[in-house]
Amino acid sequence: MANWIGLMMRAVYYYCHLIGLTNFDYEPRTGRVYKSWKTTFYTATVNTAITVLAYHWTGQMDSSLFGNVNELQEYVIVFMSGLRIIGGLVTLLNRWRQRKQLMELVRNILRLYVANPNMNSLSRWGFLVKFFTTLAVDLVSIILAVDVTGRVSLAQALALFLQFWTSSILNLAILQHYLVILFVRVQYQLMNTELRNIIEESERLCSLPRRRAAFMTRCCYLSDQLEDIAKLQSQLQLIVSQVGKVFGIQGLVVYSGYYLFSVVFSYLTYSLFKNGSKNLDLALRTIILGYSLNFFYYLDAMLNLFNVLLVLDDHKEMLRLLAKRTLFSSGLDVRLEESFESFQLQVARNPFEMNVMQLFPVNHYSTTAMCGSIITHSILLIQYDMENF
């Protein structure tokens, strides 16, 4: 299984280079991250081609691709098509703007990965589900584009190709973000397991009679382990901070896209039930492909969201484990006591949080508020359609 994971990771690596998302190179086995003129030249050429195609796209996409629609539906469809392309272009621009910071982030991740190469076996299911979900989104998008291109002009076909290209760029960028957070999540799980063992061992030491040499030796050993965990937690928090800076603009685009697509999907579903597929001139095959695409799209979105929320939960679990320290009876070695206090002070001074460009946090409460807002704006859009069309 681990070999298959390695092959899939390699495939993702080359595909990111192929479509022009990654503009530098790295070697997972050695942890080396570097620039090369071949990669720089190829990526710049591909990005320029996408930009030129996007410039000529203006005005080529219209609602005739999707059957008979009213003015509001046409506006919504064209707006969402443009948003997909803008999202991909913004992602590419941000990759050049923060190339150095992204390379440093990858270097920090590889440094920890090289120290623990067995992480593939621990994160394989999270990676496999995400990999096949992302692959399904791209495949269904291609099939839907092929289904639609039979009744469009060459210019409109190029516009569809541009949408697919930029959507693939954004999907792969989201996959990269997911893999980084998955890496942090697995590290937290390992760290919590070790911390739980240290807590249990410390509790046993408090209840045992002291034998000077053996007692101090064991406490020093636990203190070393605790300091290693504290160091790892600090490195993981640094990685999360770097992720927030490097993927900040992309995160804003992605969350805006999820929000707007959810509202639009609710409205278009209402329109389909209101007008019927015949009145909208939509074939059953097209409807099935469209809903299949939305199913995998939102499944992918849920995987991304829960991946972040689980990391936050793992950090809370670590805080809960550290809080058990106050239940110990006094009597541990001074060095071990100081290690516990230092670790608790470290996490207290540096709260672990995730946010999007400091605009809003990503947690359970903001997610619930976002879902409520989506429902509200979906109802408002449907009401507007009922009153005017």
Lowest pLDDT segment from 10-24, 29-43, 369-383: 369-383
Lowest pLDDT segment from 23-27, 197-201, 284-288: 284-288
Domain assignment of residue 172, given as a range: 2-388
pLDDT digits (tens, 9 = 90+) for 284-318: 777 788 788 888 888 888 888 889 999 999 999 99
Lowest pLDDT segment from 247-261, 321-335, 364-378: 321-335
pLDDT digits (tens, 9 = 90+) for 106-162: 998 888 887 776 666 667 788 888 888 888 888 887 777 777 666 556 666 677 777
pTM here is 0.87
pLDDT at residue 42, rounded to an integer: 92
**Which of 191, 207, 196, 192 shows the shortest CA–CA distance to 332?**
207
pLDDT digits (tens, 9 = 90+) for 60-107: 555 444 555 556 666 766 777 777 788 888 888 888 988 999 999 999
CA-to-CA distance for 240 and 90, rounded, in angstroms? 21
pLDDT digits (tens, 9 = 90+) for 211-243: 666 777 787 888 889 999 999 999 999 999 888
- Number of folded domains that form the chain: 1
